[in-house]
Structure 1
């Protein structure tokens, strides 16, 4: 399959170049030139398939021209080693729990797929994986690529703007993982990574790639758990709405990819915190990047979401169709905490701040639209934000053993000025 740049549909590359380069030379994101539809009989048998069996068919349908059946099986088996249970929270409201992987966040799916696919495509070359993170991407990628031969991971993150647990998950590993603590915000980290990919001198000296959601190898496999969630829903004649807590908008773009492949999702709810450039756009405003603002749902503290252009591309750059299919909502920290308290009191279910934002968006949509069943994505274990969760709910939250282990590790970082020249010199000297 060929992949085109969102900035120039005439610029097309093969799978290897799209994965290794990560970003097109014109700063566009790569998109598949055609999106294959899943056959009708696939949906008929979907409820009887395992997560892995769903993965074989969906990934096989996308990558059959580029990978052998054995390679596709290896990719899926390496990626789907943990469950993503669908949990009923209220009548017609379900939580899709995506935090049962190694780092307890949804990005474990994409990071594991990405590391395996790169190992198949890179062969004997040494590669630097550059990652900007507002929280969970760093931990998922660091652990997904940890000790992978021939790969060095460099993570840029905003100093003081990720939770302690998130930070520990990618700053305590060492080995082939380096964490750079940037004096800035997530958008600064993302900007420097993009500039590195476009720097001629750096690219002549080293092989650079990304494992952010801008990379198709991180983004595409996330469509799998949308198919899986649908397969586990009780039979109903209701329409389906799926609410996604959104920061860089890769996760919701993966859901739309699944819908474009034939999955019957009627409406997507793009739920954000006060970093609301996309909800504003969906409400009729012009898309305009802004400086990000710090919130308790820090993984969504993004003022210039890269994957916005994928949303447009998935609907053929038809803004009206995008706005008809995707509804935007945003909430401040006080409202988010209120939802966490309400759901815990009424149902006993504990949400992390990001899941709470998605829950709020879903509930607001359902109140205005009859005949829907809803799923909201719970993208991280509440323990990853234990300070916020414990303070909000007035509870002591027991941490999973994996998180407890990270807490006892020693943080190892290097400070980095919010300046691309400083980042470039770091890369050249290491």
Structure 2
């Protein structure tokens, strides 16, 4: 079923702003439902009560026992569909005079929809599922939401929110303890202490901000200065050995959730957490920040490279356009000299040689060659700045990969300070 039709799963209250379309799509009655709800089996307000039990169970997975108020648009739709007169009844409780009738209607609704009540066996299965789901859940609320959908898909009546929330807290706490153990085993103690101390220390420069505040500052607009700032953050995190930490046992969603907790609160509030919780959240924050900054550097580097290529390509196009104008002008001059009847053959040859000198550069390269030449001669400082910024990134892959071989060769030449390719170099893989 599309998620649009599942947005009320787990709800124990309905919004007062419920629209008529939402009622028709999620709380509607079919022709078979109307036949089932006809007298003499259901009469008066009991008929409306059974209809409410049916549509609420079908849309939310819960019996509407605790529902304090029913949206007027829902009541109008149900009474109109059932051919009943409008009512101003505002709650489920007021629809029933005794509890037995309500329980009877709930049993009928469960059989009609095909739901069953949660028993000890399915409750144990739910507990196992919660332990699995807690590995990727970002919070207790998220885990409760996932469990509600899990129960709904298996046609199980959702228990009370407190029951689900208590089970979710137990599973989430167990997973959080496992995450703490992962941090303690995957990150050396000296790395944790040094990283946290450095994160809460003041950063040199105006403003007096901490390193933590600097790291969580969002990037500015696209440009070389922003890219340089991103690479400084990567350098800072790599100096703390963050790239060596082993946290793969913690799901990425959970890592990002812990990271977001640090981002959303003040540094002083994070500093006042319990030791275990502070270490867990700070380690995840630094680790995720390194991942994000690395991705950002690669993305900005690609955009910067595209900008440089576009500028060089534009200059080449302009030069080609200018040269084509010069060639047309030279062609007119050549034609005038060649067909000048007053000049001898020797004079014509002499004038043509003056017009086209022998030592004139003769380059008929491709457009790609011209663009490369423009990058080398006119954009060299910007290209060098880009390469220096991206040099901090470690590029890994298969040793036989062509691009990786090219990168290794260029980096080796750069370390040796070479300004050109050595003689006899095999460039067949380029």
**Structure 2 length as normaliser, TM-score?**
0.21
Higher strand share: 1
Rg comparison, structure with higher value? 2
Bigger relative contact order (CA 8 A; separation at least 6): 1
Q: Give TM-score, length-normalised by structure 1.
A: 0.21
